[in-house]
Amino acid sequence: MNSSPAAKPVDGALFDMDGLLLDTEIIYTRVSQEIVSRFGKTFDWSVKANMIGRPAIDSSRYLVETLNIPMSPEEYLAEREELLKRYLPQCQALPGAEQLIRHLRRHRVPIAIATSSSQELFAIKTRRHRPWIDLFDVVVTGDDPEIKSGKPAPDIFLVAASRLEVAPERALVFEDAPSGLQAGLDAGMQVIAVPDPNMDKSRYGGAARVLDSLIDFDPLPFGLPAPPN
Protein backbone atom coordinates (compact mmCIF):
# COMPACT_ATOMS: atom_id res chain seq x y z
CA MET A 1 0.00 0.00 0.00
CA ASN A 2 1.37 3.40 -0.91
CA SER A 3 0.33 4.88 2.43
CA SER A 4 2.45 2.42 4.44
CA PRO A 5 4.71 4.25 6.90
CA ALA A 6 8.48 3.88 6.69
CA ALA A 7 9.85 0.84 8.51
CA LYS A 8 11.80 1.38 11.73
CA PRO A 9 14.17 -1.06 13.49
CA VAL A 10 12.62 -3.31 16.13
CA ASP A 11 13.85 -5.46 19.01
CA GLY A 12 11.07 -8.07 19.19
CA ALA A 13 8.03 -9.50 17.42
CA LEU A 14 4.49 -10.21 18.62
CA PHE A 15 2.28 -12.65 16.73
CA ASP A 16 -1.45 -13.19 16.62
CA MET A 17 -2.21 -16.90 16.17
CA ASP A 18 -5.56 -17.67 14.51
CA GLY A 19 -5.48 -17.00 10.79
CA LEU A 20 -1.84 -15.92 10.96
CA LEU A 21 0.23 -18.81 12.35
CA LEU A 22 -2.45 -21.51 12.32
CA ASP A 23 -5.21 -22.07 9.79
CA THR A 24 -8.01 -22.21 12.33
CA GLU A 25 -10.40 -19.83 10.58
CA ILE A 26 -11.63 -22.56 8.22
CA ILE A 27 -12.57 -24.61 11.30
CA TYR A 28 -14.34 -21.68 12.98
CA THR A 29 -16.32 -21.20 9.76
CA ARG A 30 -17.26 -24.88 9.61
CA VAL A 31 -18.40 -24.92 13.24
CA SER A 32 -20.36 -21.68 12.99
CA GLN A 33 -22.15 -22.86 9.85
CA GLU A 34 -22.97 -26.17 11.53
CA ILE A 35 -24.69 -24.30 14.37
CA VAL A 36 -26.55 -21.60 12.44
CA SER A 37 -27.74 -23.94 9.67
CA ARG A 38 -30.14 -25.51 12.19
CA PHE A 39 -32.02 -22.21 12.13
CA GLY A 40 -31.96 -21.88 8.34
CA LYS A 41 -29.17 -19.28 8.44
CA THR A 42 -25.91 -18.98 6.50
CA PHE A 43 -22.58 -17.99 8.03
CA ASP A 44 -21.13 -16.07 5.10
CA TRP A 45 -18.16 -13.76 4.65
CA SER A 46 -20.17 -10.60 5.36
CA VAL A 47 -20.69 -11.89 8.92
CA LYS A 48 -17.31 -13.53 9.42
CA ALA A 49 -15.33 -10.46 8.32
CA ASN A 50 -16.68 -8.52 11.31
CA MET A 51 -15.88 -11.30 13.80
CA ILE A 52 -12.26 -12.13 12.97
CA GLY A 53 -9.82 -11.25 15.73
CA ARG A 54 -12.42 -10.11 18.26
CA PRO A 55 -12.86 -11.63 21.74
CA ALA A 56 -15.13 -14.68 21.71
CA ILE A 57 -18.05 -13.11 23.57
CA ASP A 58 -18.00 -10.00 21.34
CA SER A 59 -17.92 -11.99 18.10
CA SER A 60 -20.64 -14.35 19.37
CA ARG A 61 -22.89 -11.46 20.32
CA TYR A 62 -22.40 -9.98 16.85
CA LEU A 63 -23.30 -13.30 15.17
CA VAL A 64 -26.41 -13.92 17.29
CA GLU A 65 -27.71 -10.38 16.74
CA THR A 66 -26.83 -10.16 13.03
CA LEU A 67 -28.31 -13.54 12.08
CA ASN A 68 -31.14 -13.24 14.62
CA ILE A 69 -30.81 -16.80 15.88
CA PRO A 70 -32.76 -17.93 18.98
CA MET A 71 -29.73 -18.43 21.23
CA SER A 72 -27.93 -16.23 23.70
CA PRO A 73 -24.28 -15.43 22.93
CA GLU A 74 -23.33 -17.60 25.90
CA GLU A 75 -25.36 -20.58 24.59
CA TYR A 76 -23.80 -20.19 21.16
CA LEU A 77 -20.31 -20.08 22.70
CA ALA A 78 -20.92 -23.20 24.79
CA GLU A 79 -22.05 -25.20 21.76
CA ARG A 80 -19.25 -23.82 19.62
CA GLU A 81 -16.68 -24.75 22.26
CA GLU A 82 -17.66 -28.42 22.18
CA LEU A 83 -17.44 -28.57 18.38
CA LEU A 84 -14.13 -26.70 18.34
CA LYS A 85 -12.59 -29.19 20.73
CA ARG A 86 -13.45 -31.90 18.23
CA TYR A 87 -12.08 -30.18 15.12
CA LEU A 88 -9.28 -27.81 16.20
CA PRO A 89 -6.59 -30.46 16.83
CA GLN A 90 -6.61 -30.97 13.03
CA CYS A 91 -5.55 -27.39 12.22
CA GLN A 92 -2.52 -26.81 9.99
CA ALA A 93 0.28 -24.24 10.11
CA LEU A 94 -0.08 -21.42 7.59
CA PRO A 95 2.60 -20.95 4.90
CA GLY A 96 5.82 -19.44 6.20
CA ALA A 97 4.79 -19.48 9.87
CA GLU A 98 7.07 -22.18 11.23
CA GLN A 99 10.00 -21.05 9.06
CA LEU A 100 9.76 -17.43 10.27
CA ILE A 101 9.50 -18.42 13.93
CA ARG A 102 12.47 -20.77 13.68
CA HIS A 103 14.48 -18.05 11.89
CA LEU A 104 13.77 -15.44 14.57
CA ARG A 105 14.47 -17.92 17.37
CA ARG A 106 17.76 -18.97 15.75
CA HIS A 107 18.85 -15.32 15.81
CA ARG A 108 17.62 -14.80 19.38
CA VAL A 109 14.97 -12.24 18.49
CA PRO A 110 12.45 -12.07 21.37
CA ILE A 111 9.08 -13.41 20.18
CA ALA A 112 5.62 -13.67 21.75
CA ILE A 113 2.16 -14.93 20.87
CA ALA A 114 -0.71 -12.57 21.72
CA THR A 115 -3.96 -14.41 21.01
CA SER A 116 -7.60 -13.78 21.88
CA SER A 117 -7.98 -17.55 22.35
CA SER A 118 -8.41 -18.91 25.86
CA GLN A 119 -5.58 -20.88 27.41
CA GLU A 120 -7.60 -24.09 26.97
CA LEU A 121 -8.23 -23.53 23.25
CA PHE A 122 -4.63 -22.42 22.74
CA ALA A 123 -3.48 -25.79 24.06
CA ILE A 124 -5.89 -27.65 21.77
CA LYS A 125 -4.96 -25.68 18.66
CA THR A 126 -1.22 -26.01 19.17
CA ARG A 127 -1.17 -29.69 20.16
CA ARG A 128 0.34 -30.83 16.85
CA HIS A 129 2.68 -27.85 16.58
CA ARG A 130 4.49 -27.84 19.92
CA PRO A 131 8.02 -28.27 18.47
CA TRP A 132 7.91 -24.75 17.04
CA ILE A 133 5.21 -23.12 19.18
CA ASP A 134 7.37 -23.88 22.22
CA LEU A 135 10.08 -21.65 20.72
CA PHE A 136 8.12 -18.54 21.75
CA ASP A 137 9.48 -16.71 24.79
CA VAL A 138 6.04 -15.52 25.91
CA VAL A 139 2.43 -16.58 25.28
CA VAL A 140 -0.42 -14.28 26.31
CA THR A 141 -3.96 -15.62 25.92
CA GLY A 142 -7.24 -13.73 25.93
CA ASP A 143 -8.20 -14.96 29.40
CA ASP A 144 -4.99 -13.67 31.00
CA PRO A 145 -5.96 -11.68 34.13
CA GLU A 146 -3.88 -8.70 33.00
CA ILE A 147 -5.99 -8.28 29.84
CA LYS A 148 -8.77 -5.88 30.81
CA SER A 149 -10.12 -5.39 27.26
CA GLY A 150 -9.73 -7.55 24.17
CA LYS A 151 -8.71 -6.45 20.69
CA PRO A 152 -9.12 -3.82 19.23
CA ALA A 153 -7.96 -2.48 22.62
CA PRO A 154 -4.14 -2.57 22.84
CA ASP A 155 -3.96 -4.41 26.19
CA ILE A 156 -2.78 -7.80 24.96
CA PHE A 157 0.10 -6.40 22.90
CA LEU A 158 1.22 -4.10 25.70
CA VAL A 159 1.23 -7.00 28.16
CA ALA A 160 3.13 -9.24 25.73
CA ALA A 161 5.74 -6.57 25.01
CA SER A 162 6.17 -5.89 28.71
CA ARG A 163 6.80 -9.58 29.42
CA LEU A 164 9.29 -9.71 26.54
CA GLU A 165 10.94 -6.59 27.98
CA VAL A 166 10.59 -4.86 24.62
CA ALA A 167 9.47 -1.22 24.43
CA PRO A 168 6.20 -0.78 22.47
CA GLU A 169 7.85 1.49 19.90
CA ARG A 170 10.47 -1.24 19.31
CA ALA A 171 7.93 -4.05 18.84
CA LEU A 172 6.65 -5.43 15.54
CA VAL A 173 3.15 -6.94 15.50
CA PHE A 174 2.01 -9.57 12.98
CA GLU A 175 -1.78 -9.69 12.50
CA ASP A 176 -4.42 -10.87 10.07
CA ALA A 177 -7.45 -9.02 11.48
CA PRO A 178 -8.39 -5.32 11.29
CA SER A 179 -9.15 -5.39 15.04
CA GLY A 180 -5.64 -6.70 15.70
CA LEU A 181 -4.11 -4.06 13.44
CA GLN A 182 -5.93 -1.37 15.42
CA ALA A 183 -4.76 -2.91 18.70
CA GLY A 184 -1.15 -2.90 17.54
CA LEU A 185 -1.29 0.67 16.26
CA ASP A 186 -2.95 1.89 19.46
CA ALA A 187 -0.17 0.17 21.42
CA GLY A 188 2.31 2.37 19.55
CA MET A 189 3.76 -0.52 17.55
CA GLN A 190 4.44 -1.18 13.88
CA VAL A 191 2.13 -3.79 12.35
CA ILE A 192 2.61 -6.29 9.54
CA ALA A 193 -0.82 -7.25 8.19
CA VAL A 194 -1.42 -10.62 6.52
CA PRO A 195 -5.15 -10.48 5.71
CA ASP A 196 -7.41 -13.27 4.63
CA PRO A 197 -7.57 -13.14 0.80
CA ASN A 198 -11.29 -12.29 1.05
CA MET A 199 -10.75 -9.32 3.35
CA ASP A 200 -11.04 -5.79 1.98
CA LYS A 201 -7.45 -4.48 1.95
CA SER A 202 -8.68 -0.92 2.48
CA ARG A 203 -9.30 -1.89 6.12
CA TYR A 204 -5.53 -2.12 6.74
CA GLY A 205 -4.55 1.53 6.56
CA GLY A 206 -1.60 2.31 8.83
CA ALA A 207 0.04 -1.11 8.49
CA ALA A 208 3.78 -1.03 7.88
CA ARG A 209 3.30 -3.77 5.29
CA VAL A 210 0.30 -5.68 3.89
CA LEU A 211 1.40 -9.15 2.76
CA ASP A 212 -0.24 -12.10 1.06
CA SER A 213 1.67 -14.55 3.27
CA LEU A 214 4.32 -14.67 5.99
CA ILE A 215 6.58 -16.11 3.28
CA ASP A 216 6.65 -12.59 1.79
CA PHE A 217 7.98 -10.88 4.93
CA ASP A 218 11.32 -9.11 4.46
CA PRO A 219 12.96 -8.67 7.88
CA LEU A 220 15.80 -6.37 6.75
CA PRO A 221 13.90 -3.02 6.74
CA PHE A 222 12.98 -3.67 10.39
CA GLY A 223 16.57 -4.32 11.44
CA LEU A 224 15.99 -8.06 11.77
CA PRO A 225 18.35 -10.78 10.46
CA ALA A 226 18.04 -11.73 6.80
CA PRO A 227 16.62 -15.19 6.12
CA PRO A 228 18.93 -17.82 4.58
CA ASN A 229 19.06 -17.90 0.79
List residues with catalytic annotation.
Answer: 16, 18
Q: Rounded CA gap, 176 and 140, in Å?
A: 17
Residues 6+ apart with CB under 8 A from 162: none
**Other C-beta atoms lying within 10 Å of the C-beta of residue 37:** 11
Strands of the chain, DSSP E: 12-15, 111-114, 138-140, 171-175, 190-193, 209-210
CA angle 226, 208, 109 (to 5 degrees): 40
Q: What share of the chain is helix, strand, coil (3-state, %, to 5)?
A: 45, 10, 45
Q: Rounded CA gap, 186 and 170, in Å?
A: 14
